């Protein structure tokens, strides 16, 4: 079943507004003019941008011509951009909320992976970078392990495909540090992640800590499952013992299986991890995660969070309509 664009818009607004009002209720009326658009309306248009892969200017022009009845007090381009970017943290908070709203339970395992998010095209010579080194830098990532300038997005997904948590780190940051912050905040939102001085001494090598800021904590809800399935980038004896001791959760890589059934267990491990590969593929191909176009730190968070909210909302609607989980591009006619 494929729905029309107006029905899709109303469904998207309903999902967003119900969750938003439950956790961010409207304040009491104050002296002065009412805002032209509510936060839920601004977020809904931001989610539509991710689905259509349009720039905000083109979307607002379309809204004026076709959806004026839904948004009678449409903001100007600059006012909309400011409002949308300012809602980044709240959209980040909605990502795990959608998953919890649909499933309502903590699964026995989740899949953890890092996906590269390039922010600029590669070119020769020195060019001005949009973000400071504490936010973005040059690193390797992806299936081809190619160089890129940007950030690394750590995603945790449940077996149904919902993104249950995310965290952002500079591209050069090791996957183990991203996992440490994600697991720490899921165990205790006010907890202190491990630091480089907490690691045991290395023989002849200098220990390297996080290569910048790892954020935001709003994209993570409390509740660690008992098991995370990961790839070899998260491997480390000290780290695995630390996560099991501190956060009561096991982080398992393909090399964790030893014994006569190791080949069978690795095959099962790979099959169970396929869901995160599907998540990464659809986020990039269907929602444009590899084409952010962010120009500020607030804009970076707002666009990443909006894509993840749109992704979870799409899976929710597919489940409700009895459609395949990742059939995102055929969800509505436009």
Query: For residue 122, is it within any domain?
Result: yes
* Local confidence band at 112 (pLDDT 50, 70, 90 cut-offs): very high
For residues 138 and 57, membership in a common domain is answered with no
For residues 170 and 317, membership in a common domain is answered with no
pLDDT cut 70: percent of the chain above it: 95
For residues 78 and 117, membership in a common domain is answered with no
> Please, what is the end-to-end C-alpha distance for the chain in angstroms?
14
Query: For residue 99, is it within any domain?
Result: no
Residue-wise over 21-31: b if at least 16 C-beta within 10 A, else e?
eeeeeeeeeee
For residues 9 and 56, membership in a common domain is answered with yes
* 207 or 271: which leads in pLDDT: 271
Answer yes or no: is pLDDT of 174 > 90.
yes
For residues 86 and 142, membership in a common domain is answered with no
Its domain, for residue 9, covers 3-91+295-333
Lowest mean pLDDT among 16-30, 124-138, 281-295: 124-138
The per-residue pLDDT for 211 is 86
* Local confidence band at 129 (pLDDT 50, 70, 90 cut-offs): low
The per-residue pLDDT for 196 is 92
For residues 115 and 233, membership in a common domain is answered with yes
Instruction: Give the model confidence (pLDDT) of 217-267 as tens digits.
Output: 999 999 889 999 999 999 999 999 999 999 999 999 999 999 889 999 999
Instruction: Give the model confidence (pLDDT) of 268-278 as tens digits.
Output: 999 999 999 99
Query: For residue 220, is it within any domain?
Result: yes
For residues 221 and 196, membership in a common domain is answered with yes
SS3 305: helix
How far apart CA 131 and CA 301 sit, in angstroms, is 13
For residues 41 and 72, membership in a common domain is answered with yes
Query: For residue 268, is it within any domain?
Result: yes
Query: For residue 312, is it within any domain?
Result: yes
Query: Is 63 within 8 Å of 72 (Cβ atoms)?
Result: no
Bridge partners (DSSP) listed for residue 149 = 120, 138
Instruction: Give the model confidence (pLDDT) of 16-58 as tens digits.
Output: 999 999 998 876 655 556 668 999 999 999 999 999 988 888 9
For residues 69 and 132, membership in a common domain is answered with no
For residues 189 and 299, membership in a common domain is answered with no
For residues 234 and 157, membership in a common domain is answered with yes
The helix (run of H) or strand (run of E) holding residue 205 is none
Model pTM score: 0.94
The per-residue pLDDT for 29 is 56
Query: For residue 55, is it within any domain?
Result: yes
Task: Tell me how many degrees the CA angle 8-277-175 measures, rounded to the nearest 5.
Answer: 115
How far apart CA 313 and CA 95 sit, in angstroms, is 9
pLDDT mean across residues, the chain: 91
Close Cβ partners of 119 (under 8 Å, ≥ 6 residues apart): 130, 131, 136, 149, 150, 151, 292, 294, 300
Query: For residue 96, is it within any domain?
Result: no
For residues 255 and 320, membership in a common domain is answered with no
Specify the number of domains making up the chain. 2
The per-residue pLDDT for 132 is 87
Query: For residue 328, is it within any domain?
Result: yes
Burial class (CB in 10 A: 0-12, 13-18, 19+), 196: exposed
The per-residue pLDDT for 231 is 95
The per-residue pLDDT for 27 is 64
């Amino acid at each position: 079943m494929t729905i029309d664009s107006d029905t899709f818009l109303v469904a998207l607004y309903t999902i967003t507004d119900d969750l938003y009002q439950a956790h961010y209720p409207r304040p009491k009326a104050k002296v002065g003019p009412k805002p032209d658009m509510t936060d839920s309306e601004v977020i809904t248009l931001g989610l539509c941008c991710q689905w259509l892969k349009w720039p905000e200017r083109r979307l607002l022009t379309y809204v004026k011509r076709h959806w004026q009845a839904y948004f009678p007090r449409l903001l100007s381009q600059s006012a909309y951009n400011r409002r949308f970017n300012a809602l980044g943290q709240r959209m980040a908070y909605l990502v795990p909320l959608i998953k919890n709203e649909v499933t309502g339970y903590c699964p026995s395992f989740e899949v953890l992976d890092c996906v590269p998010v390039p922010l600029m095209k590669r070119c020769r010579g020195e060019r001005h970078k949009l973000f400071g080194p504490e936010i973005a830098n040059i690193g390797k990532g992806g299936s081809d392990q190619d160089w890129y300038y940007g950030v690394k997005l750590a995603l945790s997904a449940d077996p149904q495909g919902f993104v249950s948590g995310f965290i952002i780190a500079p591209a050069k940051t090791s996957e183990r540090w991203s996992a440490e912050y994600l697991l720490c905040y899921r165990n205790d939102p006010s907890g202190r992640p491990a630091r480089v001085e907490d690691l045991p001494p290395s023989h002849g090598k200098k220990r390297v800590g996080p290569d910048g800021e790892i954020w935001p904590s709003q994209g993570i809800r409390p509740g660690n499952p008992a098991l995370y399935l990961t790839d070899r980038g998260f491997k480390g004896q000290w780290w695995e013992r630390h996560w099991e001791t501190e956060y009561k959760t096991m982080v398992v890589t393909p090399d964790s299986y030893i014994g006569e059934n190791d080949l069978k267990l690795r095959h099962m491990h790979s099959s169970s991890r396929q869901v995160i590969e599907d998540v990464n593929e659809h986020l990039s191909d269907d929602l444009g995660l590899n084409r952010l176009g962010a120009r500020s730190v607030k804009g970076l968070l707002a666009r990443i969070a909006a894509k993840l909210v749109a992704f979870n909302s799409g899976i929710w609607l597919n489940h409700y309509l009895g459609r395949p989980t990742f059939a995102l591009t055929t969800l509505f006619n436009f």
